[in-house]
Structure 1
């Protein structure tokens, strides 16, 4: 891909897909039309990620807070998601893309969840690109669940309280077997993380664009990756320390 250094690509990109409703409102359409257009952007971003060789892509598809939306919109979202899973299944398999679910199954319509689980099973052995769909997900809820699981093991005598470290807690999260996001993209210009991967994005680079999600396609995605490559990631270190590390001879 022009302008991208394949040696400096992020391993894991996470995207907060925002702006479907505003996109529809600008065009005097209902919100469902915005979600339908947004589904096309999901397809484009997954295809681009596979083409350039990303390893992990996490998409914030439906949050715990989204249950507060009007019932008709929620039902339309689930049916749209079901159609998307059906239509994309052959493409996911052909391109050897692994699909995973991050979030809870509670509340997701049974027929939708069954379709989703079938796709997850059929792609579980692929390793070209892993797409995590954060569906019925909340960052605080995920951390609370992780802490609860650790506490239950302490109560059962399997662990001791003093064993708790950031690394141990991380091993109880839904992303335990993958790297933390290097880059978080948020569309529509909003400057907040909206309860998304709160633990995992501690040192992620943030990229905020005014582009509404239905207009976010390959060109916008590649520009976000270019911006990522223009930045110096410090992880709390000074630029002098980073320079010394780069100049140090290999061990």
Structure 2
């Protein structure tokens, strides 16, 4: 009885939040730091906290449905940083990457999926199987006639991305016969942006981080310069639709200044 009442109240509140967002200024691009998988698993009573990675990876598929339903056309998901891959227990990292492979290969490339997939990060630091799954997903969804784009930030570090972009720009200009002095004199932010992992994608309007941490952790340092930030204490696998709608409501209530 109590569960029925609770579910009915939840559905009513979700509909109310959705109605509040009708006609509101919603973000075109939402970036998400999917944090708190292991803490969620421990809180849920699982003996092996690593199982949280499975729930977290599978939950991404559900959150993408919410985004598509409400019209958020660009999503960037921060899966793992370079430091995560290098410093955490190898068995835990292997488990996380297997979960990502399964979600990407089995769910996000199915015919019913509306998302075009774009990997972003140091793919060379990933195991062959993960790199292969991401490349196949990118190729399989490249020609999708869809306005929805998912960027998967994995093996990612924002400072390294900027450094790599500048190196790529200098190499390109050098091949064209330009000196370093020439490049420095004509260098613009837009030129650097075209060499980022996310080239061609709009900057995020809203960055959501779960788990209660209030920091960016090197995520989209260049792209999120003028993004609105939203932090929630909820762990990623427990991030509910009403939590998502609250983040959108918070965004809609803000007046963006873009550094002004």
- The answer to whether the aligner puts 1:216 opposite 2:235 as a matched pair is no
Computed over aligned residues only, the root mean square deviation of the Cα atoms, in angstroms, reads: 1.6
Q: Summarize the alignment of residues 1-251 of structure 1 with structure 2, pairs less than 5 Å apart.
A: 1-6=18-23, 8-29=25-46, 30-67=48-85, 68-89=87-108, 91=110, 93-126=111-144, 127-159=146-178, 160-161=182-183, 162-237=185-260
Tell me the equivalent position of 2:14.
none
Tell me the TM-score normalized by structure 2.
0.85
Partners of 2:40 and 2:156 in 1: CA distance: 24
Unaligned 5+ runs, structure 1: 238-251
CA spacing shift, 1:109–1:236, aligned 2, 3 Å? closer
Runs (4 or more) in structure 1 with deviation over 6 Å come to: none
| Separation (CA, whole Å) in 2 of partners of 1:157 and 1:171 | 16
Deviation digits for residues 82-118 of structure 1, max 9, x if unmatched? 2212330454x31321111011221322122222221
Partner of 2:123, secondary structure, is coil
TM-score by length of 1: 0.88
1:123-175 deviation per Cα after TM superposition (whole angstroms, max 9, x unaligned): 11222210100011110110000110122133334443212111211121122
1:55: Cα distance to partner?
A: 1.5
Task: Return the alpha-carbon distance in structure 2 between the equivalents of residues 128 and 7 of structure 1.
Answer: 20
Tell me, in whole angstroms, the C-alpha distance in 1 between the residues paired with 2:135 and 2:259: 40
User: Is the Cα contact below 8 Å between 1:86 and 1:115 reproduced in 2?
Assistant: yes
Distance in 2 between residues matched to 1:36 and 1:123, nearest whole Å: 23
1:6 CA drift (Å): 4.6
Shift of the 122–157 alpha-carbon distance from structure 1 to 2, 3 Å rule, reads: closer
Q: How big is each residue's C-alpha offset from its partner over 1:36-65, in whole Å with a ceiling of 9 and x where there is no partner?
A: 121232111111111111121000011111
- Structure 2 unpaired stretches of 5+: 1-17
